Every structure is written in C-alpha cells, then in structure tokens.
Chains A and B, each alone.
Chain A
Amino acid sequence: MKQLLSLTLVLNLMIGGANLSVAGRLDGESLHQVTREFVTPHLDWGHSLVGGPIRVLFIANRFAGARAAVELAQRLDLNFEAVVTADISNFVVDNIYEASVEGTSKYEKTEELLEKLSGKFDVIVIANVNFSILPAEAQYRILKSVSEGTGLILGFPSDLPFPKLLENPTEDWRKIFAKVDIRTLPRQPQPGQENALLKTYVFGKGRIAIMPMADVGLSTNEPYTPGKWKGRFENSLALAGRVVQWAAGRKITADFTPEIMADKIRYALDPNGPSAVRIRIRDAENREQVNQQVFAKDQAVFEFDTSEFPAGQYYIDVLQGSLDSVSEFGVFGFEKVSPVGVLRVTTDKGSYESGEKLSATVSLEKPLAEDATIAITIEDLPDRRIWARQTLTLPKGTQEVKTQITDLHVPTIAARVVAEIQNGKKRIASTEALVYFPRRKLEIYPTMLWDNIPGSLSEMWAAHLRKNVPDAAGLTHPGEGGEHAHRSALFNQRFIPYVTRIYLMAGENGETLSKGWWLGMPTDEVEALSKDGSFHNPTARDFWKKVIAHRTAGLPEVGPMVYSLGDENNFSYEAGYSPSDGPAFTQFLKDNYPNIASLNKAWGSSYQNFEEIGHPSLKEMREKSLYPLWYAHRRFMERQYADVNHFLADEIRKHDPLALVGSEGSEPGNIEWTVKGLDFWGPYADPVNDEVLRSVAPEKLRTIWWGYGGHLAYPLWQGLLRGVINGNSWYTSMIEPISGLTSVDFSLQETYRTERKPHVDALNHGLAQLLVTTPLRSDGIAILWSHASYSASIMDSRFLNPRDSAIPLMISLYQLGLNFTALTSLQVEKGALANYRILWLPGATALSETESLAIEEFVKKGGIVVADVLSGILNESCGPLPKSRLGTLFGTPDLKGQAPLEIKEVSVDQTINGKKIVFNAKKARQSPEGSIFSINKSGKGLAILLNFSLGMAWNNAEGNPEQFLLSLLELANIRPAIQVEGIEKNDLIIRVRDNGENQVLGLLAAFSEIGKVATIRLLREAWVYEANKGLIGFGKSFESKLDVPFKIFSLFPTKQNPPLLSVSKKSLNLGEAVTLDGTGLSPRGLYRLEVYGPDGVLLPDFTKIFLGQPTGEDGVIRFALNDASGAYRLVLTDIRTGLSTTLPITTNPAQHAEHP
C-alpha cells in the first residue's frame, strides 16, 4: 500500500497542507509532541505527590512508548518532556516520507534530544528504545547526568552497553516490590521472580532501574482481554510509578502491607507514619468496590468486610500520604473463591447470526449448598450494554444449568455471556464466555482503514479510532488463528483480513512464480513453488488451499467485513512458461476455439493441430509478428490471474459461506474476468479502468485507497461523484508521516483533523450515501472499452491506444455534466447498446463479428456511432482482417488500417442534418487512409468516422474542443441538463443523478475555485435544496458559494416537506425495541435517523442511514436493558433536502425485563 503514491516529488509538493511551516515541510507535531490532550480512563495514584512533581524525560519510541508515557503521567504527578524516536531500533528513519515532516532528520532529532537533555530532570526513562541507537553525545550526557544524581530507568530492550553502570546492584527492588504484589501484574509472573522484572543499581549519585519486561513504556504488555487486562495494566503502572519515585530519589519504604483474610481486609495505620491512607478496592476491570480515605489520628486500624464480594479477582490500592497528597502507593491482590468452586459458562457455538438462538450451559464445580438464582446476561463489547437477561431459580444441589436465549439481537461483533449466581442480594460467583455476532450487512458506504487496533495499548487505540473514525473496518494480516480479527472484534471494529497475495511473476525463463503471503507455511512447500508456481500446477493449487485454510482460521466466527485476497496483487505477462503452463496453454486455446480450423481462420494461420502451435517465447512471438498467438498468451495469463482470484475466493467461501471476497490496490488484468466471482475490488485510481469497473461491477464494493495524495477530500469526492467508488479506504490508521491518522500520543493527527475530517464526516453523514444510492441519469452515451483493442495497441504502434481518445472524451463529458457508460465488448455483444443513443469507439481496432453486427444494428435502429481511426481492422483474436469490419458502416469499405498513423493537421467543417460541425486542430494522430471526417447514413442512424485520435487533437484544438463534442452529441439530441458558470471549467466534474422522483446534482470544482460563486442554470424550474442542509429556492437558476469545492443539490418538481415519522410506541421499557413506521417515507428518499439521549447528546451508535422505507434492523431502534431511561429524541432527516422531523419517545427502567 505504501506504493500508493511513491512520488517523491508529489510528496514534497504536498508537504504542507494546512500545517505547512515556514520551512516548507509538514508540521511534525504529530510525530514529536507528546501531549495529554487525549485522556483515557485511568485511576489516580498520586496526582499530587509529596515533594512535588517528578521531573521526567522520556525517550520513547513512536508506536507505544510515547503514549505509555502519557498513561503514566495521567496517573502520577509527573512534569514530563519526551523525545520520540522513529522506533525501537532506529533513532530516526531516513526516507522520503519522514523527510517531508519537520523534526525527523537525524540532525533535528539529535538537536531536540540534546536540547532537552540540557534541562534538569529527576529521572530519564528510556522507554522501548535501544540505548545504543541514541547519538553518542546523548549517551554520554545521559550517563554523566546519572553519575551526578539523575535517575535512569530502562524498559525493554534493557541492554545497557556500559557494564560499569551496573557494577553496584542494590536490593532496593525488594522495597519497591514490598508494596506491589507481583501476582497482580500482567503476564502473571510467579512470586520470587521479582528480580526478573526489576533490577536496581546505583552509579555515582544516581539510581538505575532495569525493567526487562517493560515493553510498553514501563508497563508490561499482555494481550487484551475484556475481563482481565484493564486491572493488570493499571497495576503495572503502579509498579512503574514506584520505580519512577525510587529512581527520582523519593522515599520508598516497605512499611506496610494490608492483611488479607478470607472475608476481611485489615490495614494497621502507623501513628508515626503517613497521616492519611486511601484504601481502594476494585475488581479486575477497575470497578471500584471501596474507595475510602482514613486518618491515623482517627483510627489505628482500617477493616473492611469482603464477605459480600462475589468470587473473582480484586485489587487493593493503598495510597499513603496526607489529606491531599500522596507519598507512596502500592497494589495488592486477592481472589474471592466461590463456594461453588469453578463456575463455567459454555455456549453451543462461538458465533451467532442475528436473531439466532443461543444455548448456554453453566457448570458448577461443587453443588449449590443452598437455594439460589442465576442471572444470565448478554453484554456487548466494549460498552457492556445488556441485550438479554434471564434469571433462573437454582435449587440447592444444582450443579448444571442449561438455558436458551432466543431472538437475540446484539449490535456489536463481540459480546460476553455472563452468568452470576446470587443468593438474595449476595453475589456468590460469576463467570463469562465470549461469543461473536458477525455483522453481515454491509452499509451503503463503508469505511476501511489500513491496519487494525494493535496488540498493545489496544483499549487506547480503540477509543481514539472510535472517536475519530467511527465504525471504520481495519485491514491487516489476520494473525495466527485470526488473533488480530478477534482483537478488533472486542472493540467492535470490523476486520478485513489480508488473507494472501496473488503475485504471479516470471522467473528467469518465464516460469510462473507464485509469491504470496506464505507466513506459517512449511518452508519446503514454499520452496517447491519456486519451480512451478502456476495455477495449473495441482501442487500449487493444493498449496493455495492450505494457505487459505491456515490464513482464514478463526476468521469466520467474527465475520470479516470482506476478505482481501491481497494488496497490490499483480501478474506478469512474461510469465506462463512453467512446465504445467504448456499443456494448459494448449487447452486454453482448445477451450476458446472449437477446432483448429476456426483458430486458423481467426489467426490467419495454417496449423495442423493445436499441439503444433506450441508455446513460443514472447520474444519469438514479437519477432515473428505472431500477433494472435501473442494476444492468446496475454489472455492466457489474464485468465490465470482471474482464475487464481476466483479459486481463492471460492476456497475462502468454503470456510466462510457468507464471505465477501475481493482485493485492493491490485492490477486488474482483464477487469471483466477478474472481478467476476468477486465481491469487492479496490484498485489504484485509473481514469478508464475506474469507469469500466463501475460498468461491470455496479453492485460490488468499490474503493480506491487515499491518504497520500490529494487535498481535503478530493480523491473521495472525485470517485463518489463519478460513481466509481461506493466506499472509503484510508491509508493508514497508524502513526506515520503524512497519512497516519494517529499522533504519537494517540490524539488525531492535526492535518487530518483540520483538512480531512470535516469533509469525510459530511460524506459519512449522508452525502456519500446519496451519491451511491441515486443512479446516474442516463444521457444515452456509451463508450466502448475494447480490451482486445487495448492489447493490440501494445502489440503494434499502428494501432491506436483506446485510452488516447477515451480519456479526453471522458474528461470532457465530466466537465459538460453528461453521463456515459463504458461498455465492454462482451456487454455490446449481449445487447447493451439498446439503452443508448450514441456510441463512441475509441481506438476500437479489434472487434468481434458479433460486436460489429451489434454496432451495425444499433445504427440501423437510429443510433449514432462515432469512431476515431481504424475500427474493426482486427478480429477479437487480434487476427488481421482483409478490411475493416465496420468499413461499410462508415462508408469506407476498403479501410484496411495497414498504414502507420501520421501526425497531421485536422480541419473539419461539415453540415449534418442541418447542424454545422466544425473542428480544427493543429495536429492529431490520424490514419492516412480515408478522409479526416466522414459521415455515412445507415438505416435510421449515422456512422461518423473522425479518422483522428482525440488526445492530441484535443490538446491542439483551436478553440474549445467541447463545442465540437457538443455538436456531435446534438445529432443524438443529447444536451447537458445544466450549465455551471462563474468558475473555472478545468478539472470541473458535474454529474447529474436521477431516481425518478428527484435529481441529484453534484459538482466538484478545482481547489483554486474555493470561495467563488457558481451560477447553476437548469433546463426547467425546480425546487432546489442543498443536500443535508436545506432549501435554496425555486427557479431555473441558482447561485452557490463554494465554501467547499464539492456541492450536492437535490432538484424537485414540487416543494418538499419534512419526512413523516411515526413509531410503534412512544413509551417503552429499556430492553425493548421501537419499530419505525416508514409508510410515509418516499421509497426513493435517503434518510438518516439520529437518536439523542436523555442528556440531549447525540448517541452515534444509534444512527442509521437507509434508503426508502426502513426494513430489517434499519427499521428498529433497540434499547439495551442498562441504557439510560428518560426522554429520548428521534430525529429523521431527509438527506436530499436536509429537512427533518423530531419525535420524542420515553424509555422506562427495565423493572422485570427477562429475555425469552
């Protein structure tokens, strides 16, 4: 993906945007500044320390170390500065991406570090940075500073290549651990192993702490789990805090430990010790059970009864000090053992479709000693909204309970099944199991991000992404057993697994090499593919199967949004010469030609049989001008590429029958073949292929990566307006220069926040969906995309590249606001021309007989066909024809197309059907055969041969080439529906959509036009609304100031009213659902339903955008059992008009809600 725009120049030009510094580079704050702006849930350990704040310099890596510094500073009274390195083993990284950002060069970063080192600190923390990568002068100054009394803490990697510093170990680590129970820490090291976590030394006047397992800042990472991670992470930072205090020279004692008994916590206060102690008891998820400050002057002993605590893990935090400050703190743990022993809940499956029945079994290790009840709840993740609750009576002696929950609708991907046994109000024991509810329905306009929630500080990442790019899926490798997908699911982030990679490259002798993601695959099997990686090699196919099985393991249960077959997939036309390719090539020919005679006829050859053809090298084919054979080889490789795509997609579907599969950033090959059988295609932008994809895959998910190029939201605006995309793919959610969403402190990167987000949000709030769901108005214009002709142009320079004419034609049509469809040869053969009035044939050198007949028929029935040069002089096999297949149609029956194209002046001045057609260009590529412009009537239609390519002609036109184009379109009675005045036409895109009820007019102006006023003239009067905003007025023209260059208007014949909204009930209990009554809504309307809570704040998770009358879950608003009760407000907005209706509803507490 990184190659998306590997244009160093463009990057250097792009550097800047809103954050351009005077020096012309991108503001580097997001990569350097560690702020406390983004606050995450945390406990207070010592926000006011006795002795004042500790001055700390963190030297931390970019990816987690920097944020970990903030996490510690949130909890402890630190006055900190930070220097952020590129990564754990690179002080800086020297590449063009980094170079575009201020402060990233070695010089700048060194200067920053040395400047900060000149400050006075109590402690220097090297957090996940290899000490050796620091500049020598910095190393020297740090060590010298330590010898003079500054503390030094090294997390992982803790190698300090200066043995003398470690010559004097101390036993102070014991004092630090005296108040931190090692069993409360991540990865649960065993008691007695404290010294593996922490070693202490003195050097000169300074103290040195080495923390080899502190791999996320000064905390120890462990995989995220909803029930356990939170508490242990907190404890880990308590240890870190104590180490920092010690290293800073603060007093660290071993003077207290709470006494933990079966049903009681006892803590003796020292009358000569700290005047106050805060005791905080919390569960494994930091839910406070007790938080009480006691004073030594008031009592000698603090006791707390824990007998009512349900079974589970608890932590006791002890904060010593005075009324308002803390001198020391510590953390201890205890586990409440259940009287029923180990309690387990299991479910019949790990994954459920919406509405599906869930069966749960709860097992008690020991029989119940007395009558009790059990509550089984389904809580979503990560918010723990409760979607079902069942309470069952358990008679004494019960050891197993089975139950079922039906009609279950959980809105998140992951949820917990929680079972809690109670005796009256006393909670005896609880347990939980994780289950998944795949989200199968793809929204109208989904968003995907490169990368998902990482494995360290996952909760913090998730909170940042949820806040700033809500509901975006994350794309990355699946991890072993789908680990990455499961992690995403815990935070309700949909996942897009990067399952494999299709990379059919050519070996030295043209053999097909398969290079893919073979992670975890046996080396010998991978090696075997280096000899013959062709898809036609059964061993290779078997290997692919294993790859798919391995890489999809664990994925189906979380229901990926789509499966990606790879990023930047590609193949080489030079490949195809593996041992298994030879027979396959012969078979490919047999499959395409019924017999050798038909092949000979198509190719103009005289082979005796298919085997005689062999499979010569590309070089030989070119040298011998074996064009049909050369083209057959190209098609053979395109077919192989498509087949691999389809085969792998089918393999994935074997593991996940509901899977949507595609790939992104990939070469299309023959796009029509490749996307067939796939559900998703996300290429790099290409003016022609994008339109062909829209034509051949209208219902499939189509996205184009952006992030590195363009400003504001131009890449999205362009794609959406043209209709070529229906989703958003952003590179990347990670911390990266230029395009990374995330700053080192996990705040939103500034350029994205100011330049992109407002526009991306506006699209997400309905504008994108409006463009996706409203069909482009048919203007009756078709442009043939002949894949065979394109191949022919590569084969021989006599044949015009269809792109030379197609691209300028398409650009002109964008500017004129006229819609078109790029039709493939296959579509033309199947009769697609019936829906059009004019057909352009750009560089249509190679046409099949069926295709030619369809074109002739189209003209006979009244259609107009416009060709540039040499149409139909080759057949669909790129075999030469004695003369053009369309020669008679164009009135040039002897057109052969053998002469090379010439560059000459163009002068057209003719009258057709009373309409004058004039065009002059200083030069254009043209055929020496025939006249420069000819018209032939055929049946009811016209065939116009320009005999010159549009590319050069457009560039060298005298006057406006669009006038020439318009005059030709006039012949088919095609005229633009609107005129836009007052702004520069260059790069302007105008698209008109029509759903039969209203039109949607979209325009995108060049960046330079921002702030100008555009006047839009219509063919007839209309009520004009700015989409999602409101009424502009009624008339035949209107003005719009381009505060943003992208504008969407809706045009109606009648004035519109706010949408009609009613609901099944206006008062309900929590845990129930309200059904929307959409009978008053237009089937063609696009609506956004928003819900505001009792506190008046928008609840984004409730928002729905739907087309027409809502169906399924779109028509239901579900309230969880533990949602806030009170007065809610439903606001339904017609996105087309911006008009909205508000409806109040009231929710009542769920008194006795039980799930069936």
Chain B
Amino acid sequence: MGLATPIFAQINVVKETRADDANQKNIEFLFPEGKVSYQGKIDESGVIDKDSLLYGLTFQRPLQTNGGWSLWDFLKITVRAEDEALEVIDKCLLTNADILEDQQRVLVSFDWHLEKQGGGDLQVLLAWYPEQPDWVFVKVICKGAATLEQVNLAAFPGNTTGPEERERWFATEKQPPSQFSDETHEIDSEESGMVFFNRFAQENDGCLLVLGNFPRESIKINGSYAVTTSVRFAEGQTEATFALGGFKQSDPKEVIRVFQMEGARNMLNYLNSIDWSPKVDRKKHQSLINNIEELIKGTSNPSDVENFQKLKVAYALNEKNGNSSGLLDNVRELIGLKNSLIEAELMKFR
C-alpha cells in the first residue's frame, strides 16, 4: 500500500546564529554531546581581528574544566594555493555554516571561500553519531585550486592548566606511552591513533585522536601547553579525515591497552566507513511524499492537504536551488505531517 521503509530519526541539533554578515560571524552548533563554535570579525583594516577569532569544540570536556578539545582553536588548516601557504582559519572569515543532516547523524559544514587564492574553497565537515557519542568525526576538504598543506588539532587533556607535577603524556596505536618533552615529537607518519593523557594529576581524563586513511608527509605532536597534533600532507592532497575522542574518569592505562589492542583500528574502520556526502536522500524523500499521498487520501482535514501541497512546492524549489538547509526544514515538516496523519489514522481504530 505504499507506506514503505523510509523512516526518520531526528537528532536534536541547533544552530544558533548571533552574527552572520560579510564582516562578522558568530555561529554555534549545539548537538547532544557538545558544541562547535565559530566567531570571527573583520577589523577596520580588512583583516581578521585576532582577538575576535574562535573556532572551538566543546567536547570531552571534564566537568568544571577547560579541558578536552580546544575551546578556542581545536582546528587550524593551512592550505597552499597559488604557491602560497595560507592559514585559512586565522586569515579568512568563515563564509557559511550549515546543518546538512540531522537524522541518524549530525552533519554540519563550515565553508571558507578563498577568493584571493584563485577562488578555491575550504570545507570542514563535522559529523556526530548517536551510537558513537564519544567521538566527533571531522573531514577537511579543499576544492578548486587549493590543496592541503597542514592541519593542526589542539586539545587540553584533563584541563588547560594543572599542578606542577602534572605531566603530559602520549601513546600511539603502536608505541608505548611516552612523556612529552618540551620539544616537538615526530612520530611515524603511518601511525593512525593517539592517546593524550596526564600523569600525577588529571590522570583520568584525556583525549584520543584517530587519523583517517590519507597520505601524509609527517605527524608531529607537541605537548608544551595545548597538545597539538600537526599533520603535514603530501603534495596535492585535498582531503583528510579525523576522529576526535576522549575519555573522562577512566584509567588511561586501560584506555591505552584497549586502544592499542583494537580501539584505534575499530575507530579507523568507523571513520573510513563514513559516507560524508550529505544524505539529501531524494529517493527517501520521495518515498516520504508518496507515503503522505497515501495517508492524505484518508484525511478529512483540508488544511493538511493544503499544507502538503505547500510543502511539496517548497521542497521542489529548495531542491532546484540546491538549498540543503531549506530541504531539511521541508523534510522535518513533512515528517511532522506524516506523523499527524498516522495519528489521525490510528484514531480511527480507537
């Protein structure tokens, strides 16, 4: 009878826009386990006001601390365009940010248009899955003339500051734990998993990082203040993926043991299995519309019919214009309509 398989699982993700114009952006996405925030402002001289800049990820943050992934600059990206290196986030104001998916997973995008660099684009996608609540997945994509040169990921395992005895430590998927020295550590570029943790204070909170399968020239880590992982890319690389995780109130020894045994491999599998293309699943949407077509035959409420017609038109328009945000809004409303029609049908059995 046509009420076929597609169903929808809505995740509570909110976009809060406090400023969004050509000179200033202040946008925050809140999802069930954290938030990602961007703030940036062009000053009078036409460059980014450094004091205004923030690209923070509130995630795996121990209670009453500033720990976890950096609340200020969890991600920095250097691209190469027209033979010049450009620290995009430091130098360019965000162009656009949007929710691309809110069903089955959260997928949000941050886009920077690199107008002065030959018209390329940089896109950062962040995905969060309800079944993997302790991880945020990140994909960095260069489009057009730009290629990736370096990505820095910053975290504060446990907290930013700590008592004198606190030591910053790391372990990789293959290497046993080592203490950070004041120097930058270069680790095998084939490594894909890292555990950042502390000893002698804040011992039970830490951060985890898994690098996806992409060619890289080097991986360097530094733990002098923030724990920063710098991944330098092979020439011509345009995409990279990362999984950002952490642990709270856990024994790091146990975490490392599990991570090295297979946790890193498992998470790499997961990361690699992610389909990053926004699932504006038109087939599913069409099926949803078909379901409603069937259900609406039984309705006696003319406003439902009218509403449905309006939504179909709006959907078609947004589809034509490539407005994914608008499409998601339409789909939410269509789901709401379908649910109300089902309720009405069920009432007939009562």
Contact = CB atoms under 8 A, between A and B. Distances in A.
Contacts of B200: 951-952
Nearest to B295: A140
B261 A1008 contact: yes
B267 A24 contact: yes
B350 A163 contact: yes
Contacts of B262: 13, 16-17, 20, 711, 1007
A115 to B, nearest CB: 5
Interface in B256-312: 257-263, 266-267, 269-270, 273
Given A107-B7, A140-B342, A20 B348 contact: no
Contacts of A162: 346, 349-350
Contacts of A144: 1, 345
Given A24-B267, A115-B5, A987-B257, A140 B346 contact: yes
Given A16-B266, A115-B5, A951-B200, A107 B104 contact: yes
Contacts of A25: 131-132
A955 interface: yes
Interface string A1-41: 00000011110111111001011110000000000000000
A300 interface: no
B248 to A, nearest CB: 7
Interface string B98-110: 0000011000000
Contacts of A165: 349
Contacts of A925: 165
B133 A136 contact: no
A823 B196 CA distance: 35
A178 B251 CA distance: 65
A15 B266 contact: yes
B134 A12 contact: yes
A9 B247 contact: yes
Given A99-B130, A118-B5, A13 B273 contact: no
B132 A12 contact: yes
A161 interface: yes
Interface size class of B (residues with CB under 8 A): 35 or more
Interface string A943-968: 00000000110011000000000000
Interface in B126-177: 130-135, 164-165, 167, 169, 174, 176
A685 to B, nearest CB: 10
A903 B164 contact: yes
A981 interface: no
Contact of A8 (B8, B133, B199, B259): B133
B319 to A, nearest CB: 24
Nearest to A804: B200
The secondary-structure label for the interface of chain A is helix
Interface string A779-793: 000000000000000
Nearest to B3: A141
A111 interface: yes
B158 to A, nearest CB: 14
Interface string A129-151: 00000011101110110000000
Contacts of B208: 9
A14 B247 CA distance: 13
Contacts of B257: 987, 1007
A519 interface: no
A118 B263 CA distance: 37
B167 A136 contact: no
A96 interface: yes
A164 interface: yes
Contacts, number: 137
A111 B9 CA distance: 10
A995 B335 CA distance: 73
A105 interface: yes
A163 B131 CA distance: 38
A100 B132 CA distance: 8
Contacts of A135: 7
A107 B103 CA distance: 9
A164 B266 contact: no
A891 interface: no
Contacts of A24: 132, 266-267, 269-270, 273
Given A9-B208, A164-B348, A105 B9 contact: yes
B21 interface: no
A161 B350 contact: yes
Contacts of A16: 262, 266
Contacts of A9: 134, 208, 245-248, 250, 255
Contacts of A903: 164-165
Given A107-B104, A139-B346, A10 B258 contact: yes
Given A106-B9, A144-B1, A10 B260 contact: no
A1064 B7 CA distance: 73
A955 B200 CA distance: 10
B5 A13 contact: no
Given A13-B266, A110-B7, A136 B258 contact: no
Given A20-B269, A162-B350, A1008-B261, 13 more contacts: A7-B249, A10-B255, A12-B132, A25-B132, A100-B131, A110-B7, A110-B9, A114-B7, A135-B7, A136-B346, A137-B3, A163-B350, A951-B200
Interface of A: 7-10, 12-17, 20, 22-25, 96, 99-100, 105-107, 110-111, 114-115, 118, 135-137, 139-141, 143-144, 161-165, 709, 711, 903, 925, 951-952, 955-956, 984, 986-987, 1006-1008
28 contacts: A7-B254, A8-B133, A8-B134, A9-B134, A9-B247, A13-B255, A13-B259, A13-B262, A13-B263, A17-B262, A23-B269, A24-B269, A99-B132, A105-B131, A114-B7, A139-B346, A140-B345, A141-B3, A143-B346, A162-B350, A163-B350, A709-B254, A711-B258, A903-B165, A955-B167, A984-B176, A1008-B260, A1008-B261
